[in-house]
Structures are given as C-alpha cells and as structure tokens.
Chains A and B, each alone.
Chain A
Amino acid sequence: MPSAILTDGLTKRYGETLALDHLDLDVRPGEVYGYLGPNGAGKTTTIRLLLGLHTPTAGRAELFGIDAWRDPVAAHRHVAYVAGEPYLWPSLTSAETLEFLARVRGGTDVAYRDALVDRFQLDTSKKVRALSKGNRQKVQLIAAFAARPDLLILDEPTSGLDPLMEVAFRDTVHEAKDRGQSVFLSSHILSEVEALCDRVGILREGKLVEQGTLAELRHLSAQTVEVTFDGAAPPPPELPGVRAMKAGDNTLRFEVSGPVAPLITALADQPVVALQSREPSLEEIFLHHYGTANGHGGS
C-alpha cells in the first residue's frame, strides 16, 4: 500500500519568501503524525500543498500515490480536512452544513456522525453565524471524522476547544487510529501531540529540522539531571556534552547529551543528597530546537 502522504523535495516560494524548503515527508497508512512548528513555520503552507490548493514551486506531494496537484479530486476521495480557521457558510445551520459537506463528499457514516454530534455536544439547530470558534471547529471535526476517510488532515483543530472537548477529540483520534486511518495533525499544542502521535516532525522556517518517534527525539535530545547536595553546591564539573546551571542554593541542574556515566563518576565524591533524572518533555525538545529557553541556540 502506498504512503498516506509522500512528499519529495516539496518546495514553495511566495515571491521573495521561501515558505517551504525541500520537505520530505512519509506518513504511513495507520500512522498518527504530529506536525509541529511555531506560527509562520510553514505548517499551513504544507497542508495547502498536500491538498493541491497551491502549486509547488519544486518537488511534489502524493496522497496514497496520487499527485496532489495534478489529480486533486481523486486524492481528496481519501482525505478529510479540518481548517484552522473554521470558515463556513454563516446562513446555514450546523445540521445543514454537515449535510452539505456529507453530500458533496459522499460516503458519510451517518450513525457515527450522530454519535459524534452527541460526543461533541453540538447544537445542530444553531446557525453558523451564531457559533463560537470552538463550536464551528466541532462542525468541521464531526464532518471530517464522520466521513471515515483514509487520511485526516487537521490544521490546529483544537485551538478553540475546551478541555472536555479536547478529551472527546483525543478519543475520536484514537478510534480513527484503531480503524487504521492515518492522521496528519498540525499543531503547536505539545501535550496533544505527545499524547496522540506515533511520529513527530518539527518544522522551522520552512525546513524539517527533526523527525522521528518521541523515543527517538528524546534520545537525540538532552536529558535533565537534577542533583541536590548536602550544603552549598560545589562548582560544576567541566564535562563534554554536559551543561550545568544553578537551580537553587543546594541544587544543580545538568542537561546531558549522550551517556550520563561521566557525570555520575564526576559527582561520586560529592555529598549528594538526591539525584533526579528525567527524560525531556516534548516541550523541552521543541524549545531546544527553537532556542527560546535560556537564550541558547537551536541546532
């Protein structure tokens, strides 16, 4: 079976701006892929290219082996899309919108749609113009998941949802995954990506700077070791791949890339009271790549 998403040197330039630079993605069927990046990194540009709404400057994008630009209609039969800014038809009610999207798309699972309407607690008799952003997002999510597509392309789908609905969203993504559907989740809500995604790609200024499973990304990143001493902390040992900073009067925090053994050895003759080690959170990996934490630069 061909990849759900396959891009090859996908590049997009708007005038002078290079929005996407030789992107190579491979999202396999059944995979939930998290697409991370700050505002303006090129996430929405990627999605517009994947949907064949914009033409690539170079390279190509395929959905299930179908060229996204040349044959969008065939590609879209496999896809449902949820836009980040839910623009819908203000004069239609939610029920009418769901019906319209279902008829144009074809093949909607009506029973599942009704179940989703209950799960997301959507009042379908309300006109779209009277809905909040979160509720408009629910309309799009319900329409997309009820279509039971092979691939869901979601552009920051939960930015307007409350925590309860966020849970409903996660349940729905899990159900889709269990059915073997692929999900391409563009987001900057890291906890959500951490909870849902098999693999993560990090985009920075139009370039994919990191890609892999969470375990792989953690491995590449520094892990944090916090050491508390009996009395004032001694001057930190100078070791390659270890960065130290004070985290209190008696505490030092080390960021360790690679094995921890040299650090343990160096601390062996110190009056260590407590030693805590933890894997970096996705947030730390993310900040590591964007260099906003503590002013140190990214890779």
Chain B
Amino acid sequence: MAAAEAIARRTLRDSRTRTLSFALLFLFGAAAQGATYRSAYPTLEDRLRLARSFGSNEAVRLLYGVPHDLLTVGGWMSWRLGAIPIFAGLWGVLAAVRALRAEEESGRMELVLANPVARGTVFRAALAGIAAGALIVWLGLFVGILAGRASAGGSAYLALAIMSPVPVFVGVGALACQLAPTRRMATTIGSGALVAALVLRMVADTSSAGWLRWLTPLGWAEELRPFTGAQPLVLLLPAAASVLLLVASAWLARRRDIGDGLLSARESAPPRLHLLSSPTALALRTLTGGVIAWLIGIAATAVLMGVVSNSVASGLSESVQRQLEKLGAAATSASGYLGFAFLFFVLALSLFACFQLGAMREEEADQRLETLLALPVRRARWFAERLLLIAGLAGTLALAAGVFAWAGAVSQGVDLSFGRMVEAGANCLPLTVLFLGLGALALALAPRAGPAIAYAIVGVAFLWETIGGVANAPRWTLDLSPFHHVGLVPAEPFQATGALVMVAIGAVAALAATWAFDRRDLVAG
C-alpha cells in the first residue's frame, strides 16, 4: 500500500507542469468565454440573432460541435467550449504515455519492479496518480466556468462532460503503451486515435449522419448535453469504454517483457548518411519527423479555416461582427475572418519556437551538447545556427498556413488573392522571431528555467490580448501585448513598423543570447 501511494504521488509529481498548464489554460479559456458572451450579447435580442446566425452555421460546428442553446451563458459555454474535450483527450494520452511508457523506456520501471511490488499494483497506482491530475484539471475548468456566472451544479456537470473523454483516452494511451516500445511511438498511436475520434465527431456534427456521434468519446461529451437537457446516463459510455481499455491494457501488460512493446521498434537499419555534415544538419535531421507532424497539423487547420471562411463570413450577424470587432477584427468578409483566424497561427508558431528551444535545452541537459562541443565546434555558432534553423522552419510552417488556407478558401469559391494569403502566412513570423529571441535569451541566462520562461512570455502576452480585448481594457495596456501589433492580414494591411520593431527586438535578443551563451557554463541535468 505504501508502495502504491509512493508511485501514485510520483506519477502526479512527474506531470505537474503539464497538469497545471492545462488546468490554467482551461480555467482562463472558460472564464474568457463567459465574459465574452456577456459583453458581446447583453440582451435577449442579441442572443436570438446569434442563435439564428451561428446556430445554423455548419462550418463552425466543425470545431465546436452542435449548439443546443445560445440564449444562456451555460448553453453558450457548453457549445463554445466544445473544442476543449479535444485537448482534454490529448492530456489523457500524454499523461498515460508519460506514466507508463516513458518510465519503461528510461529503465526506471525496472528499478521499481525490482522491489516487492506487483506489476498490477504499479499499473493501478500510476492510474491513481493520473486520476488525481485529472481532478486538478477538472477543478480548473469548473472554476473557470463558474467565473462565467453559471450555476454551480451546472458548471460542475459541464466540466465533467468536457473531461469525460479523459478516462477513455487514458485507456487509449495505456493500450498504446502496451503496443509501442518507445514514448514517441506510443504518443503517435494515442494522438492518432484522438484525431480519428475528432474526424468522426466533425462528420457527425456537419452531416446527416448524426448517429456517428455515438461512436466517438468526443461525441459522448456532446451528448451529455450540459445546460441543455442533461443526459447523465451517457456517462456510462465513457466509463465502460475506459474500463474495457484499461483492463485490456493490464491484461497485455502482464503478458509481455518489461521495456518491450508488442510492436517492436526497428532496432537496426542500414546507414543513411544524409544530413550528418554539421551539428545544424543533424538537428534538422532529428527534428524532421516532429516538424512534419507540425506541418500536417497546421496545413489541416489552415484548410479547415479556409473552407469555413466562406460560410462564417456570409452567415455573420451584426452582433457577431461587433464581437469580432471588439477583438480587433473587421470580419465582414472571408478575408476578414481569415485575418482574425490567423492570430491562431501566430500563437501556434510562437509555441513551436518555444518547443524547439525546449529541444535545445534537452540536448544540453542530457549532455549530448558536451559531446558535440568537445569537437572543434564553435559554441556561438551552434547556438546561432540553431536559432536560424528554428526561424527557417517556422517560416516554412507560416507559408504553409497561408497557402493551405488559400487552397481551402478557393475550393469553396471564395475570391482571395494568393499573394495576400502568402503575406498573411509571412505576417505570423515577426512575432515568432520576437518570442524566439526572448526565449533564447532566457535559455542563455537561466538554462534550466529557460523553456518555461519562453512559454510563459507567449502565454501571458496572448492572454493579455484576448482577455483584455473583451474586458474593454484601456488601449495603452493592450499595447503592451505584442499580439496587439500584428496586422490582421489579409483583412488589414501589413503593419510594417510593428513587424520591423518586433524582428529588430527579436534579433537583438538573439544576438545577446548568443553572446551570453558563449560565456556561460553548460548546465547538465
């Protein structure tokens, strides 16, 4: 029992950063939705107009699902938070893979199992740790919804509905951990299942095949119908599915060697000698797989936005326009919508930069960098080239966003200039460069905390922009967020001054970071 408790605590502790980030993200996201609704649609008349315009718009259902009631805060939130179950599912996959497969891949699991403790106990204790984490995320969501002034019982149930895919995807993740011998492969299998569940829900919500919703955990979350005629019996579905998946995982776990998966990874390969000529070339080689995943994600989202842009713009009511204007967009056309929607890519690429800074830190932490810098490799050059590589990869992703959004829009007959959409993609870059430079400086000055600081800078700036815009904050405070200085291309002209200032600050920060990194000790672990 003591062993199980220790393992459960360890599991909770290991994932504390991710758990707290998701909890806070959900909290602020939910709170912002409540505030948005109240300020943008204060009267019943506004809300009826909203229901008529958005409610029948199939394109928006792709991400948010089917709205059942847009006349109350609760109804609005249960619809607008329809994208959060996707992230909750992702949290479930990541938590399971971290607790089960990462422990085995690192060899720590062998250390644990060498003690007088059964495999089944370890498995259940890890699940208990994940469950405690899920409770924290649920709590964040609950408080966020409550802050939007919904009823306590309703808020609790909505938070529960949004979190209902979590146990299922923990089960999916646990099953993936039995199949895959590496963390990376287990994450890929789990996320693949999540994407399949999402696609199924999208089809169900936008076509006549609504029954498909009963086949996906994300659909069950919708069918729980919080605030709009709750169906709590539906909870039996995720409960049964997760029990089934977890029992199957435990059964498989007892029948395989520790450290191995049922699908074994290719351990040998003929040598492939491309991209081995320099540390930067090797970085490009090892990052390629991850970057392709980012590219697919961004291209798919961009196509979706392009497709949606037409119907969003044509079905847009006056009040929706007013809301979007408050957020800084004049969304009277497809290009207006895209100009606003591309802020999402600005955020995504900034996070991409942070993620890559994290990979740099990892190389330093596990001392691969020492092996590298013991060769005749200039330290400043390694650092600067890596930053340029990240900027280049971000540029590729940015252009892909523009091109694929253009393709999606044109496929729906929207009249949109290709050049303007390429410009819209490129417009995501200045802010990415700014955050990359500042993050690099954090990495150079505070190696261990660097990546977390980089994420925090992006997160605070973004929240400042989104919450401040809705809360009618004074203009000068909004100006503090660099997001406020991004021109909403293609709706607005490219803001050359703002872009230049951002690139200049980013470049100066990157230079300072290179200088500082060249002069500090490498920090392992």
Contacts and interface: CB of A to CB of B under 8 A. Distances in A.
Interface string A35-53: 0000000000000100101
A72 B373 CA distance: 9
Given A100-B276, A127-B269, A76 B521 contact: no
Nearest to B275: A100
Interface in B370-392: 370-379
Contact of B282 (A74, A89, A130): A89
Given A53-B370, A55-B521, A89-B286, A105 B271 contact: no
B128 to A, nearest CB: 30
Interface stretch (A22-30, A80-88, A203-211, A275-283): A80-88
B231 to A, nearest CB: 47
Contact of B273 (A81, A99, A129, A130): A99
A224 to B, nearest CB: 40
B519 A55 contact: yes
B375 A76 contact: yes
15 contacts: A48-B521, A48-B522, A51-B374, A54-B521, A54-B522, A55-B519, A72-B378, A81-B374, A96-B271, A96-B276, A99-B271, A104-B278, A104-B377, A123-B268, A124-B271
A79 interface: yes
Contacts of B377: 73, 76, 104
Contacts of A93: 268-269, 271
Contact of A87 (B182, B270, B368, B519): B368
A77 B269 contact: no
A129 B370 contact: no
A254 to B, nearest CB: 45
Contacts of B228: none
B75 interface: no
B286 A91 contact: yes
A115 interface: no
Interface string B181-210: 010000000000000000000000000000
State the 8 A-B residue pairs at the shortest beta-carbon distance, nearest first: A81-B374, A130-B267, A95-B271, A54-B521, A100-B276, A76-B376, A125-B268, A87-B367
Given A48-B522, A99-B273, A88 B267 contact: no
B255 interface: no
Nearest to B267: A130
Interface in B476-525: 519-522
- Specify the main secondary structure of chain A where it touches its partner: mixed
Contact of A106 (B265, B371, B376): B376
Contact of A53 (B267, B268, B278, B373): B373
Contacts of A54: 521-522
B367 to A, nearest CB: 5
Nearest to A86: B371
A126 interface: yes
A125 B376 contact: no
A286 B374 CA distance: 30
Nearest to B367: A87
A260 B279 CA distance: 61
A48 B370 contact: yes
A100 B282 contact: yes
B286 A85 contact: no
Contacts of B115: none
A61 B183 CA distance: 42
Contact of B269 (A81, A87, A125): A125
- Specify the main secondary structure of chain B where it touches its partner: loop
B269 to A, nearest CB: 5
Contacts of B371: 81, 83, 87-88, 140
Contacts of A81: 370-371, 374
Contacts, number: 96
Contacts of A99: 271, 273, 276
Contacts of B277: 103-104
A167 interface: no
A97 to B, nearest CB: 9
Give the contact-size bracket for chain B.
20 to 34
B285 to A, nearest CB: 8
B521 A127 contact: no
Contact of A73 (B270, B271, B273, B378): B378
Contacts of A83: 367, 370-371, 374
Contacts of B379: 72
Interface string B242-277: 000000000000000000000001111111110011
Interface of A: 48, 51, 53-55, 72-74, 76-77, 79-81, 83, 85, 87-89, 91, 93, 95-96, 99-101, 103-106, 123-127, 129-130, 140, 153
A68 to B, nearest CB: 11
Interface of B: 182, 265-273, 276-279, 282, 286, 366-368, 370-379, 519-522
A76 B272 contact: no
B376 A73 contact: yes
Contact of A79 (B368, B374, B520): B374
Nearest to A91: B286
Contacts of A48: 370, 521-522
Given A88-B368, A96-B272, A127-B268, 18 more contacts: A48-B370, A53-B370, A53-B521, A72-B379, A73-B376, A73-B377, A79-B374, A83-B367, A87-B367, A95-B271, A96-B276, A100-B276, A101-B375, A104-B278, A126-B268, A129-B182, A140-B371, A153-B374
Contacts of A105: 375-376
Contacts of B374: 51, 53, 76, 79-81, 83, 153
Contacts of A129: 182, 265, 267
A47 to B, nearest CB: 9
A125 B271 contact: yes
A126 B266 CA distance: 9
A124 B522 CA distance: 30
Contacts of A123: 268
A209 B407 CA distance: 73
B366 to A, nearest CB: 5
A48 B272 CA distance: 32
A124 B278 CA distance: 20
A87 B265 CA distance: 20
Nearest to A53: B522
Contact of B267 (A72, A77, A101, A127): A127
B182 A85 contact: no
Contacts of A124: 271
Contact of A104 (B265, B267, B269, B279): B279
A25 to B, nearest CB: 18
Given A89-B286, A89-B368, A130-B267, A51 B373 contact: yes
A90 to B, nearest CB: 9
Nearest to B274: A96
A100 B276 CA distance: 5
Contacts of B372: 104
Nearest to A55: B521
Contacts of A125: 268-271
A248 to B, nearest CB: 40
A73 B382 CA distance: 12
B334 to A, nearest CB: 42
A16 to B, nearest CB: 16
